Structure 1
Amino acid sequence: MPQNYSSQSGTPRTAAVVHHGPAYTNSRGQQSNHPVQVAPNSKHYQGGGGPGTQGSHGSGGSRSGSSQQSSNASNPRPRGRPPGSSTKTGPNSGGAASSKPPVKKKKLADRVLPMELTEIVPESESYMELLDFERKLDTTIMRKRLEIQEALKRPMKLKKKLRVMITTQLNVPPEAKDLEDKPVLQWEMRVEGRLVDDPQKQRRKFSSFFKSLIIELDRDIYGPDNHLVEWHRSASTEETDGYQVKRPCEENVNCKCTILLVLDHDPPQYKLDPRLARLLGLTCQSRPVIIEHFWQYVKTNKLQDVEEHEYVNCDKYLEKIFECKRMKICEFPIRLNPLLSAPDPIKICHQIDVTIAEPKKTNVFELDVEIDDVVKDQMKTFLLSTQSQQEILSHDTKIHENISIIKGLKTNRDFFQSYSQNPKEFIQELLASQSRDLKTITNQVGNPEKERRADFYQDPAWMNEAVGRYINNQVEGRRLELEQTLKG
């Protein structure tokens, strides 16, 4: 790419510039309650109850998926319900296998398989081990995300070498080549630089490392009005690849030149008072680092007041520096201001010495600079990335749907298995359960003798009321769903 250098010869106090070219969720963003504690290689899953726990289908901590019953024959509760005969009311009523209830909130407890399923399908225990591993992995990722967020709040810098090249050459202006008179000569000095072993493999503009640059020429040769060339950063500064200065000259040029460079630190750094610098072991640092070293000095020397912890008892060194015997900890940043000053600029003494016989010379210097760590950009990319989270969320949705289907199929299996083992007792328990459900619907104590006869179930009085209650509950459930959707 060709380099475009703009000349600086008429305006003495401005440097010419060189241009080279023109934001409780788990670690995956998924809402969840407290994760279910699953003991590896064990059949006991905390949060779902013991082996004999009864529960209803859809409950957060249930491990059976539907209403379970004790093996005790004296329990009048039936062992299961046939598909479509559930008496649950509301928007999610109906058979577990015939319809999929909408999952409003995905919980880890809903992904736990029933404990009895391990006896039917031994391979399901491997799934529970994976679920436990996923919980540990989510916890680890969440902890790492918090650590990354805390690390991004602190400056992450790398020390690198900036190679500065100062090139001086003697030029003959093109417009003077055809003149019969002696051509007008001028010397040109370029100040350029680049990073050594740039980790980002991208050429960073040279001016971005500095806050200001001053080139001071020999005052005796160029006079008081033409010996200074200055550049200072402003809000509208455009980054450049270097600086260029031109001056007319004779055949031989031999003058002194001083280049002052002020580094642009982020966060800003300050030079400490010599007494405080010897005490803290710092010469030039940022305010957070200075305050951290001061607090470390206070703790090491046990200067914090035992009774009033907000005070620091100054030792003989701090007393001379801050001119007080006691001060509040919160006062230290204010008392620190008079002890800080702007850092000293980097001073380069250069000799401009070119002749017609040797028209070009280059001197190289290396400076220590700080740049942002490449890992910082990778951390930001990791925190802002959503592609993997969306993919994991879609897989979690499929897992919830499959677990719901498995629980429904197990409910059907338990129903038919209980019926096949003892049909008479099962039907009696089922009728007794339906009778209790009828009492709950109608809010009546009921008459057991009438309920034993088939004519009772053909009475349209309670049937109309039961249907009305069912429809009312369905409408109420839909209304609640609509309200939640509008709020969301």
Structure 2
Amino acid sequence: MPPQPAARRGPGPMVPPPQQQFSNAQMQQHQAQTLAMQERELAKRRARKPTDKDISPAIEALIPAAASYRELRELEKRYDAAIMRKRLDIQDAINRNVKNTRTLRIFVSNTAKDQPWQQSSKPLPENAFDFDTGLTPTVRVKIEGRLVDDEEADMIEANPDHDLNMDGEESIKKKTEAGQAGKKKFSHFFKSIIVELDRGTEHPDGNVIEWRKPSPNTQPATAALGLEGPKEFDGFEFERKSDENINCTIKLIRDESPDRFKLSAPLAYLLDTQEDTRAGIVMKLWEYVRSNGLQDREDRRKIHCDNAMRHVFHAETLWFPQIPEKTLSNILPLDPITIPYTIRTDVPSHFSSTVTDVTVYIDDPIRAQMQSILNSPRYHNDLREIQKLDDHIATLILALNHSKAKHDFWEAFAKEPAGFIGRWVSSQKRDLDTLCGEGASEGVEEEEKRKAMWRDRMTESVYMLLARQGPGR
């Protein structure tokens, strides 16, 4: 029996082809190839992009107004050079991070409440069995500070006719107008404020009151818990229960950027300063080395220490790149600002007994203005607009040069048609030979000489071969 044909299956579900799995290395290679292709495409676009914006002298001879364009181009070049020089000056001034010194005036005051001598003036109830009024004596201490210039400026705003200092009133007003936006509060200048009460008396609420500036890492967590206080403030207050005078010590830990350090005695004597930043210390050491001629004549990085430097670094010679590391043993954290104060409970009204002036360092307000100029979005938009105009000018100049080439072609053709066509065909032939690699380095005459020499040598060789084979052949 003949074999039965296999039964045909009906239509089944469509099975998609298996997807090819790529490893991480293959995906990275594919991404690298894609980026390389994009870079090549951008490079081709930049290569095709016209960049010449100068009009040739031949066009200026035909168009007298083109000389004005050339003068404008020269003026633009000088203007661009001046702007770039100013931007570099601004960038250098920002990188130097110059600080201005200001005076911070710190006031410490306290008030007393519900003290025994204050309670004695209040009448007691008629049926009272004791002399206790049920009130708890407390004291409230306030620590606040203000920049001196800001304080004088506020006095001028409150009373413009007030005679602060007639000689410097104009300068104070100018400073106030310039620094109104960048006014710093008291807490801005300190990392922490610690108040240590007298150890002789134990207070139920503790003998140490401390405030610390929140770090950027902990601010989101405290804000989520609803424990975040004011970011900056002008006054710090605390309250304690007491009916006696209390001696306390207020310690203020300075917050500076970049950090300043206290110099050791030998280094302070060498640089003639008690505190400075690490960059300032290195710069002053460099100035000291140069002014005293301590560099080695052959290797300028090598420094021969004099007597003062030997007391600091304990070495005869020193390599300048080692100075930042060598100075670490000669710098210490700054001592806190210490203010002794006595909390009075025998004063009926607000009482300020301590005023302390502290020198603080703040950023130059002009630096912030310079930074805003460099980061201004308007400046970048103007640059993009100028780039578009430059591209448009380059396109117009390219079209103008093409028009001039067409003009020269047709003018030469009109003067001498036959000779021009011959020269043009010869030029095109040379260009074609150059593109094809034929005669790229020699001219037509040199090529003809080589052909003739080859023909003569081949003819002579053929004759010699025939002579050797004999007359029969």
Does 2:143 correspond to 1:188? no
Is 1:240 the counterpart of 2:216? The answer is no
Matched, 1:111 2:91: no
Q: Is the 8 A contact 2:50 2:398 kept in 1?
A: no
Work out the CA distance in 2 between the residues paired with 1:347 and 1:267: 22
Offset of residue 186 of structure 1: 1.4
Offset, 1:132: 1.5
* Change beyond 3 A, Cα 1:204–1:164: same
Percent identity of the aligned residues?
A: 30
Gaps of 5+ in 2: 1-44, 126-132, 151-175, 220-227, 439-473
> What is the match of residue 317 of structure 2?
326
Alpha carbons of structure 1 residues 203 and 150: separation in structure 2 relative to 1, 3 Å: closer
Q: Tell whether 2:249 aligns with 1:249.
A: no
CA gap 1:432/1:262 in 2 versus in 1, 3 angstroms: same
Q: Residues 209-246 of structure 1, C-alpha deviation per residue, up to 9 Å, x if partnerless?
A: 11222112233344698332223445336633132210
Contact map agreement 1:169 1:360 (CA 8 A) in 2: yes
Distance (Å, rounded) in 1 between the aligned partners of 2:428 and 2:289: 76
- Say if 2:401 is the partner of 1:397: no
CA contact (8 A) 2:194 2:252 kept: yes
Query: Where in structure 2 are the equivalents of 1:49-448 lying within 5 Å?
Result: 104-107=48-51, 110-171=52-113, 181-195=133-147, 196-197=149-150, 199=179, 201-222=181-202, 226-233=206-213, 235=215, 236=218, 239-241=231-233, 242-250=235-243, 254-307=245-298, 309-355=300-346, 357-359=348-350, 361=352, 364-385=355-376, 386-415=380-409, 418=412, 423=414, 425-436=415-426, 439=429
Number of residue-to-residue matches in the alignment: 334
The structure with the largest alpha-carbon Rg is 2
Change in 2 beyond 3 A, CA 1:365/1:319: closer
* One-letter amino acid of the counterpart of residue 402, structure 1: L
Partner amino acid, structure 2, of 1:204: K
Matched residue SS, 1:117: helix
Cα shift at 1:115: 0.9
Separation of aligned partners in 2, 1:400 and 1:309: 49
Give the drift of 1:133.
Answer: 2.0
For residue 200 of structure 2, give the secondary structure of its aligned residue in structure 1. helix
Which structure is higher in helix share? 2
The CA RMSD measured in Å over matched residues stands at: 3.5
Counterpart of 1:185, as a letter, is P
Cα-to-partner distance string for 1:322-354 (whole Å, 9 max, x where unaligned): 333333333333332222111122222333335
Partner letter of residue 406 of structure 1?
L
The answer as to whether partners of 2:54 and 2:70 remain within 8 angstroms in 1 is yes
Task: Give, as a single letter, the amino acid of the residue that structure 2 aligns with 1:191.
Answer: I
Q: Residues of 1 paired with 2:139 and 2:82: CA distance?
A: 63
Contact kept? 2:108, 2:144, Cα under 8 Å: yes
Matches of 2:350 and 2:81, distance apart in 1: 67
Q: When the two structures are superposed, what TM-score results if normalisation uses the length of structure 1?
A: 0.59
3-state SS of the aligned residue for 1:245? strand
Name the TM-score, length of structure 2 as normaliser: 0.61
CA distance in 1, matches of 2:112, 2:346: 7
Query: CA–CA distance in 2 between the matches of 1:248 and 1:363?
Result: 21
Partner SS for 1:220: coil
Could you tell me how far apart the structure 2 residues matched to 1:290 and 1:212 are? 26
